[in-house]
Structure 1
Amino acid sequence: MRWNFPSTQQIPFYPGYSPFQSALLARRGIGPAEAERFVRSGIEDMHDPLLLKGAAEAAAIIGDAIRGGLPITVYGDYDCDGVTGTALLVESLTKLGAAVDWYINSRFVEGFGMHPLGVEEIARRGTPRLIISVDNGISAVDAVRRARELGMQVVVTDHHEPGEELPLADAIVNPKQPGCAYPDKHLAGVGVAFKVMQLLFHAAGKPREILRSLDLVALGTVADVMPVTGENRVFIKNGLKLINWGDRTRTGLLAIKEAADLKGEVNAHYHLGFIFGPMLNATGRIDGVPTAAVELLLTTDRRRAAGLAAQLRKVNEERQELTRHQTETAFEQAQREGEDGFIVVYDPAFHEGIVGLIASRLKEAYQRPVLVLTDSPETGILKGSVRSVKGFSVKAHLIDDCADLLLKGGGHEMAAGCSLAKENLPALRRRLDAAVRQAPAELFVSTVDIDYVLRPDEIDGALVAQIEGFAPYGAGFPRPTFLLQPFQPEQVRFLGRERNHLRLSGQGVTAIGFNQAEDFRAANPAGPLALLGLPEINDYDGSIQFRMRNQGWRELEDPVGAAG
C-alpha cells in the first residue's frame, strides 16, 4: 500500500477553525468561503425543488391524481435506496390523501428496473392508474410504453444515468437527464423522490411535515454510497437527528437499533452504512422482494416492528455466512486464473443476490475491477455484478464498450450489473482484460491519503471533538486519516481469542490494530513507528484510543517501505 503524504502547500486561513480542521477542509476541496455552509448543512441550505427539471410537472400530475381519486402505485427497487424511497412515497402520499400501494420487482424474476411484466401485474390491480417510480425507470422505455398501452400514466423519479433514449413518461425527474440544471447531480433515488414530495407538501400548506421523512432520505443516501456533500449532507445531517430522536424515532428504525443491540447515537459512516443498510437489503438479496423491509419502515406498531426487525436480522446473518463462504470460493478461483488483469469469476453456485458483495470484497483485496457471474434462471444466460476502482469506469469499459456481448447492462462508473449469453464469456474476458492492461498502472495501486500528521502529545479530547464536529462522514467526505509519529511502543499486547489483534501503548497513547498482530509479530520492529489511523472514543470505557487502519503501521526509518 502506498501512503500519500499531505501537501506542503500553505493552507488558507479558515476563520474559527483549528489547524487540523482547516487542513481537512482544504484537502477535501472546501474553500474558506464555503466552509460555514458546509459545516452547518442546515435545512435552509436545501435547493429549491423547482430547479429539478420535470419536478413541477410531476407534482402537478400527482396532485391531480390525488384530487381525482386516481389509484397510485409506487414502483420501487429492492435495494435500500429503493426500499426507503418506496416507504417515503407511500407514507407521504398517504398523508396527502392518496389511494396508494407499492410494487417492487423480484431480483430473480424481473431484475432491476421497471419491467413490462411488473407493469402488467400493476394493471391487474385496476386501471386507470398512476405509476410513480423511485430509484428506477430512466431506462424503462419498453415498460413505460406498455404502461401507457394499458391506460396508465407514469411519472419517473430516478437518479441513474440516462441512456440515449428516454422513456415516454408523463414526467421525468432525474438530475442527470439532459437539460436539468439542478446544482446537485448525485442525489440518491430517495432524495429525488423527496424533492418532488417537497413541492406537494408546500402546495398543501404543510411544507415542514415532509421534513419528517429525512430519516429515510439519510438512510437511503448513505446505503447507496452517495457523496456526503452538497444537499446530500443536509439530508444526512438532519436525518440523523430524527434517527437519534429517542422515543420519537421512527418505529422501524428503533426496532433495527434494538435488534442490532446498538447503544448510543447512530452515525452515518458505520451504523447506517454497515448495520441499518445491510439489514434492510437482506431480504431483497436472499428472497428477491424486500417486503419485510418496506413494511418495517411503514409500521407504527412496535410489536410488529420488533418481529420484522428480528426477521431481517436473521436473514442478514444467513446472508453474511453465505457471503463469507462464497467469497472464499471466488478468491480461490481468482488466484488460480490470475489477479493482474480484469478479474472475472464465474460459478453457477454463487447466489445471485450477493454477487455484488463478492465483487466488492475481491476489488478491495486486489485493487482491480472485478466481475462476478452466476447462472440466471434462464438456461445459457449469466447474470452478474461488477465493482471497479477509481478512475476505471465500468460504465464505459463494460456496459458501453462491450454492449455487443451483453444482453442487458446498466450502472455507474464504479458499479454495474449485466447479463450475457454464456457463450460470450470468453470474448468478454479478453476484451475486459485488454482494457485493464491499456489503462494507467497507477490506477491499480492501493493508496491511502494522509490528511494530517500528529505527535502523540497532540491526541486529546479536544481533537476528537473537532473530528466529530465535522460529521457526518462517508463517501466524498471520508473520515480523516492521521499519521501518528514518532511513536515508540512501551508495551505490546496481542488480543482476542486467537491473539490476532494488536494493542500498542506508549507516550500516553493506546493504539489498536485489528487483525494486525501476525504481521507485527513477524516483523518484530524495535525502533519508533509511524501509525496510520484515527483518534476516537472507545465505546467500552470512554477512553481515547488511536484506531489503526488496515496495514496501519510502519517502522519510522522506512516511511515508504512495505506496510506492516
Structure 2
Amino acid sequence: MSPVAPRIRRRAESPCDGAWPAQLPPLLRRVYAARGATSYAQAQPKLGSLLPPDGLTGLDAAVDLLQAAIRERRHIVVVGDFDCDGATACAVGVRGLRMLGAERVSHAVPNRMIHGYGLSPALVEELAALRPELLVTVDHGIACHAGVAAARARGWPVLVTDHHLPGAQLPPADAIVNPNLPGDAFPSKMLAGVGVIFYLLLALRRRLYGDHPDREDQTAAIHGRTSRQERPDLSRLLDLVAVGTVADLVPLDANNRALVAAGLRRLRNGQGCAGLRALAEVCGREASRLTAADIGFAIGPRLNAAGRLEDMALGIECLLTDDLARARELAGVLNGINAERRAVQQLMTDDAEAALARARLAEGALPLAPCLFDPEWHPGVVGLVASKMKERLHRPVLAFAPAEPGAGLLRGSARSIPGFHIRDALAAVDAAHPGLIPRFGGHAMAAGLSLELAQLPAFERAWQAHAARMLDDDLLQAEVLSDGELLPQEFDRFHAEALRDGGPWGQGFPEPLFDGRFEVLDWRTVGERHLKLSLRHPARREPLPAIHFGGWHGNAPPPQLHLAYRLAPDDYRGGAAIQLVVEHALPA
C-alpha cells in the first residue's frame, strides 16, 4: 500500500534578528526562528533556565512520604512500566533514591502478558512477596484506581508519579505528582514520566539537604554544587532522563530540550550509565555523535522491545547495572529481541495492509478511522502497527490483539493525526456508551484501551460515528512543513553537521526539513524497500547522493521529483561526504 501523498507547505518566515553567536550559520538561525526561538538562549536552553519544581501539585506530600521512608529505613518499591519512558523512570527512581540515602529500594515492573498495564490488582498480589512499605509508581498510576486501592487495602502507602492525562476521578493514592492534574501550576505540561520522577528527586534533595532555589541557580541545584559539597549530584541521572523523554515522543518544549541536551552531553562525553553505553554500542552508534534521533530510532526501540515481546525487567536491569560487561550482555539480548520485534511487526503490518485493501474493495473507500483486529496478532506490537498505518494513511488508527492467546479481552493501541485528540475521542465514546470500554488512557496523539472481544463490533460502530463527526477533508490531508530551499552553497558538510548538532530535535521542535526540485540522474533499490538516488540540483553541477528509506513501491521514480528531505553528514563515506535523506517524494 503506497503512502498517502502529503502536501508540502513551507513554514512562514520569522525574523531572526535576536541575539545570536557570530559563528552560528544563518541557516540555523532561520531554522530556529521558524520554531519560535528568537534568541540563542531560547534555541539552546541550558540547565540554569530549567523550571523549578515548586509548581507541581502534590509535591510536598510526596516529599513527606519519601523523607519519612528514608528516615525510617522503610522498604521502597519503585513500580515501573513496560515502555522506554517507564523503564528509564524506574531506573532514575531507584538510582536517585539510593543516592539520596534510601537503604532499602527495590523495583518491579508489570509483565504485559501477565499483569496488564500499570499497577493492577494482579501485580499488587505478586508484590506482596517483597513486603513493600511504600510503593512509588513511575510513568503510570493516574488510571490505576483498582491497583492503588488494592495496595492501600494491604496497608501500603502509594505515591503516584505520572504524566498521563487524568480521568474524572483520581486514584486513592496517598500523594500524586502529575503536571497534568487539574489546577497544577507547573508551567510545562510536557514532562515525560521520567521527567516527573526526576523533578520529585530534585525536590526531595532540597528538603533533605536544605538547598533553596533563592540561593542557587538550577544548574547548581541539579549538580549539587553549593557550600554543602556532600550533596548527591543528580545530573548523573540526566542521560536516562534524556532517553526516556525522547523515546516517549513528548513535545520538546524549552524545559524538555534543556533536560535532553544535558543528557546527550553526558552520553557524548562517555558519562552515561553502563547500560546506555552498551546499547549505543550494539546499535552501532558513535557515542561522541549521539543525537536525539539515535535515541528515537535505535536505543529506544531496543529498550521498548523487551516490554513488547518479553519482560521489561531485562531492560531495567540493563539500565541499573554498573558492570559494563553485564550491560553488554543484556544489550545483546535486547538487540536480539528487537530483531524479533521487527519481524513480528512486519508480518502484522502486512496483515493490516491486506485487511485495509479488502475493506477498500468492499466499501469503495477506507474507513475514516480504521479499527484493525487479528486474533493472531501480538498485543505488544499493536501500537507499532497502528503508528505505521497512521503514517501511511494519515488517519487515526486503532489496532487490537488478544490480551493473551484465546482470551476474550482485547488490548488496543490508538495513534492519531494533528487535530484529532485520540484520548478525548475515546472519552467521548465512553461517555456516550457507558461500560463499553473497560479501561483507556493516553495523550492527544497516542492512547491505549482494553475491550471485550464481543463488544468490538459495537465499539467500531460508535468509534466510526464519532470520527465522522470530528474529521473533515482538511484534517485528512497530510501536510509536511518545510523550512524552504537550501542555497546551493549550503549543500556541504559544515551545514550538515551544524543541523545535526543544532538540536535536540523532536516533537514540537522538529528536525529541519527542506524541499526542492531535483533531476533524477540514477537510482537503484537497496534491500527490499529502499531507494538510493543520484540527484542534480538546478543550481549545482555536482550530483547529490540521496537515500529514501521505504521509498521503493515497485515503480521507477519519475525523471523530475519534488522532494522533502533532510541534509545529513554521510558518516559511512566520511570526509566531506553528505547525503539527502528523503522523507517524501512527489512527481515534480
TM-score normalised by L of structure 2: 0.87
Match of 1:471 in 2: 503
Identity, % of aligned positions: 34
Q: 1:381-420, CA deviations, whole angstroms, 9 ceiling, x for partnerless residues?
A: 2221111111112212224323532121111121111122
Is the 1:488–1:507 contact (alpha carbons within 8 Å) kept by the matching residues of 2?
Answer: no
SS of match in other structure, 2:522: strand
Match of 1:388 in 2: 416
User: Is residue 155 of structure 1 aligned with residue 137 of structure 2?
Assistant: no
Q: Which amino acid aligns with 2:139?
A: D
Match of 1:363 in 2: 390
Match of 1:334 in 2: 356
Q: More deviation in 391-400 or 118-127?
A: 118-127
- CA, structure 1 residues 231+351, in 2 after alignment: closer, same or farther (shift >3 Å)? same
- The residue correspondences of 1:368-447 to structure 2 (distance < 5 A) are 368-377=395-404, 379-402=407-430, 404=434, 405-438=436-469, 439-447=471-479
SS of match in other structure, 1:216: helix
| 1:524 positional shift | 3.4
SS of match in other structure, 1:303: helix
- The residue correspondences of 1:95-244 to structure 2 (distance < 5 A) are 95-98=99-102, 99-126=104-131, 129-205=133-209, 206=224, 209-244=233-268
- CA, structure 1 residues 149+548, in 2 after alignment: closer, same or farther (shift >3 Å)? closer
Among 534, 541, 544, the alignment partner of 1:510 is: 544
- CA, structure 1 residues 194+126, in 2 after alignment: closer, same or farther (shift >3 Å)? same
- CA, structure 1 residues 268+460, in 2 after alignment: closer, same or farther (shift >3 Å)? closer
Q: Which amino acid aligns with 1:104?
A: V
Among 26, 41, 47, the alignment partner of 2:33 is: 26
CA distance in 2, matches of 1:166, 1:429: 28
- CA, structure 1 residues 159+44, in 2 after alignment: closer, same or farther (shift >3 Å)? same
- CA, structure 1 residues 401+268, in 2 after alignment: closer, same or farther (shift >3 Å)? farther
Q: 1:230-272, CA deviations, whole angstroms, 9 ceiling, x for partnerless residues?
A: 21111100000111122x4311111112222223535343210
CA distance in 1, matches of 2:307, 2:263: 24
Q: 1:194-247, CA deviations, whole angstroms, 9 ceiling, x for partnerless residues?
A: 00111223344445611110000000001100112221111100000111122x
Is the 2:100–2:232 contact (alpha carbons within 8 Å) kept by the matching residues of 1?
Answer: no
CA distance in 1, matches of 2:258, 2:285: 24
| 1:121 positional shift | 2.6
SS of match in other structure, 2:148: helix
Match of 2:217 in 1: none
Match of 1:552 in 2: 585
Q: 1:328-376, CA deviations, whole angstroms, 9 ceiling, x for partnerless residues?
A: 0111011112324211111110001101011111111111111111222
SS of match in other structure, 2:77: strand
CA distance in 2, matches of 1:266, 1:328: 35
- CA, structure 1 residues 500+49, in 2 after alignment: closer, same or farther (shift >3 Å)? closer
CA distance in 1, matches of 2:67, 2:101: 10
- CA, structure 1 residues 535+9, in 2 after alignment: closer, same or farther (shift >3 Å)? closer
| 1:95 positional shift | 2.1
- The residue correspondences of 1:535-550 to structure 2 (distance < 5 A) are 535-542=567-574, 543-550=576-583
Q: Which amino acid aligns with 1:443?
A: L
- CA, structure 1 residues 314+393, in 2 after alignment: closer, same or farther (shift >3 Å)? same
Match of 1:321 in 2: 343
- Unaligned 5+ residue runs, structure 1? 556-564
User: Is residue 56 of structure 1 aligned with residue 60 of structure 2?
Assistant: yes
User: Is residue 523 of structure 1 aligned with residue 555 of structure 2?
Assistant: no
Is the 1:502–1:517 contact (alpha carbons within 8 Å) kept by the matching residues of 2?
Answer: no
SS of match in other structure, 1:391: coil
Is the 1:410–1:417 contact (alpha carbons within 8 Å) kept by the matching residues of 2?
Answer: yes
- The residue correspondences of 1:289-308 to structure 2 (distance < 5 A) are 289-308=311-330
- CA, structure 1 residues 459+520, in 2 after alignment: closer, same or farther (shift >3 Å)? farther
Is the 1:535–1:544 contact (alpha carbons within 8 Å) kept by the matching residues of 2?
Answer: no
Is the 1:73–1:103 contact (alpha carbons within 8 Å) kept by the matching residues of 2?
Answer: yes
| 1:324 positional shift | 0.7
CA distance in 2, matches of 1:519, 1:321: 21
SS of match in other structure, 1:416: strand
CA distance in 2, matches of 1:204, 1:471: 35
User: Is residue 343 of structure 1 aligned with residue 343 of structure 2?
Assistant: no
- CA, structure 1 residues 41+259, in 2 after alignment: closer, same or farther (shift >3 Å)? same
Q: Which amino acid aligns with 1:210?
A: L
Q: How many positions carry a matched residue from both structures?
A: 544
- Measured on the aligned residues, the alpha-carbon RMSD in Å equals 2.3
Among 74, 86, 92, the alignment partner of 2:90 is: 86
Is the 2:268–2:290 contact (alpha carbons within 8 Å) kept by the matching residues of 1?
Answer: no
TM-score normalised by L of structure 1: 0.91
CA distance in 1, matches of 2:11, 2:349: 38
- CA, structure 1 residues 516+64, in 2 after alignment: closer, same or farther (shift >3 Å)? closer
| 1:380 positional shift | 2.5
Q: More deviation in 135-144 or 77-86?
A: 135-144
Q: 1:437-457, CA deviations, whole angstroms, 9 ceiling, x for partnerless residues?
A: 332211111211111222333
Q: Which amino acid aligns with 1:319?
A: R
- CA, structure 1 residues 324+9, in 2 after alignment: closer, same or farther (shift >3 Å)? closer
CA distance in 2, matches of 1:484, 1:22: 20
- The residue correspondences of 1:491-506 to structure 2 (distance < 5 A) are 491-494=521-524, 496=526, 500-505=531-536
Is the 2:429–2:466 contact (alpha carbons within 8 Å) kept by the matching residues of 1?
Answer: no
- CA, structure 1 residues 353+305, in 2 after alignment: closer, same or farther (shift >3 Å)? same
CA distance in 2, matches of 1:304, 1:448: 43
| 1:308 positional shift | 0.7
- CA, structure 1 residues 134+10, in 2 after alignment: closer, same or farther (shift >3 Å)? closer
CA distance in 1, matches of 2:176, 2:562: 52
- CA, structure 1 residues 112+507, in 2 after alignment: closer, same or farther (shift >3 Å)? same
Is the 1:509–1:545 contact (alpha carbons within 8 Å) kept by the matching residues of 2?
Answer: no
- CA, structure 1 residues 400+437, in 2 after alignment: closer, same or farther (shift >3 Å)? closer
